[in-house]
Amino acid sequence: MLSRWLDDSFSPIVKRNITLLTASRLTTNACYRFTPPFVAIIAKGFDISLSEIGVALTISELSGLLSPFIGRFIDHLSRRAAMLAGLFGIGVGALLAAVSPNIFVFTIGVTLISITKNFFDLGMAGWITDHVPYEKRGRYIGITEISWALGLLLGVSLMGVITALSSWRAGFLAGVCGTAVSLLFIASRIKSEAHEVSSRVADDGIRLSGRGWLVVATMFATMCASQCIFITFGAWLDDQFGFGAIGIAAVGFSFGIVELYASITSASKTDSWGKEKSIAIGCLIMVPGGLALWFVSQNLILGLAALLIYILGFEFAVVSMLPLATHLVPKRPGSGLGLVIGAGTLGRSVMSLVATRAYESSGGIALPSLIGAVSAGVATLFIYMYHRRGGLAHD
């Protein structure tokens, strides 16, 4: 289906597997993204406060610090093995979350989802790097990244409906079923390629360049900005306007539409505009969105409009950043991407704690949105500094 978006300059193997990879990543993203919109509902289920469950999510996101080490490890595995291990781990984590008797077991479950999602994402990115030249990678990754939007648009929305009809535990169980189906398809369609391991053995001396750390810092600040909103908008809708699970799922669905548009736009524009410029554009769009929400959070319509602008910029920035991340360490894509993903999850972990406490201390989403706008501005500064220092020669 998605192969129709690729011309004949792409090899048959990448055209043949793009739909499978995108659909599989949709299921992993749905499991990963399910908790934040429904964090208030889950907190009520455990009879704990929003800030207490924020601590649980902080612990989960801190596991992202393992991403650089996972990336180096995955560079010595076949891409197929990494993806299968990721899908299996995500399924087990979702199952633990679903049956958790207390917040401690729930934390273990969502942390396992966070850790093993790195296996799948890095394995898939490595497979793309093996088969798609850098100058075409923005388009290919942009297409597969619609899975992030669809994970919210379809996956989380469906899990939200199931939550409304039953409970959030049933929502996680739906995620388990999705990962199981994806695992079977990846196992049958993606083959191990012996050259993957042998071609990377001699690359141990390759490291991230000095200015490359600015891209890592950009991802950290961008994810700080996103988490301020993603972890508090559900509570805001519930507390301020009385939204339940169905209402939150409906808003999440609209977010997914915006993210899908941003991903498609990135797929068509990032290679021609340049990765660095595209990242800066996305981060800059977030700033007025966050500032607007700071001012209009008491109004549902204006607040949602500001949120949509914010999310549009975030998605475009992150999708544009991924192809750049895969080439920061050209011969070791897992290492470079692992560092960037690790920085992003660290940013989310920091803001899981900061944003929930800011929300409770200020009585709403206004303060978290202001923190998010400032973080997006910092991300813009970092990517501008990277560009001024020479950027990536291939971009």
pTM equals: 0.75
Q: Which domain holds residue 31?
A: 10-388
Mean pLDDT over 115-128 rounds to 89
3-state secondary structure of 138: helix
Structural domain total, the chain: 1
pLDDT at 194: 56
pLDDT at 333 over 70: no
In angstroms, the CA 81 to CA 278 distance is 33
With respect to residue 5, please indicate whether it lies within any of the assigned structural domains. Answer: no
Local confidence band at 392 (pLDDT 50, 70, 90 cut-offs)? low
Q: Please answer whether residues 114 and 32 qualify as being in contact, where contact means their C-beta atoms are separated by less than 8 angstroms.
A: yes
DSSP SS3 for 199: coil
Residue 186 lies in a domain: yes
Higher pLDDT, 194 or 201: 194
Q: Is the pLDDT of residue 161 over 60?
A: yes
User: What pLDDT is attached to residue 148?
Assistant: 81
* Residue 317 belongs to a domain: yes
Residue 338 lies in a domain: yes
Domain assignment of residue 308, yes or no = yes
pLDDT band at 204 (very low <50, low <70, confident <90, very high): very low
**How would residue 371 be classed by pLDDT, with cut points 50, 70 and 90?**
very high
Would you say residue 83 lies in a domain?
Answer: yes
Q: In CATH, what number is assigned to the domain containing residue 243? A: 1.20.1250.20
The answer to whether the CB of 128 falls within 8 A of the CB of 137 is yes
Query: What is the chain's mean pLDDT, rounded?
Result: 86
Residues 6+ apart with CB under 8 A from 312: 258, 259, 261, 262, 285, 289
Instruction: Let me know if residue 1 belongs to a domain.
Output: no
Q: Report the Cα–Cα distance between both ends of the chain, in Å, rounded.
A: 29
Mean pLDDT for 189-194 is: 78
Ranges 181-190, 236-245, 339-348, 366-375: which has the least confidence: 339-348
Q: Does residue 17 lie within any of the structural domains?
A: yes
Task: Determine which of 9-13, 128-132, 316-320, 387-391 has the lowest per-residue pLDDT on average.
Answer: 387-391
For residue 196, what pLDDT is reported?
44
Contact 161, 249 (CB under 8 A): yes
pLDDT given at position 199: 39
Q: Reply yes or no on whether the pLDDT at 30 is more than 90.
A: yes
Q: Is the pLDDT of residue 205 over 50?
A: no
User: Which residue from 339, 314, 311 is spatially nearest to 324, judged by alpha carbons?
Assistant: 339
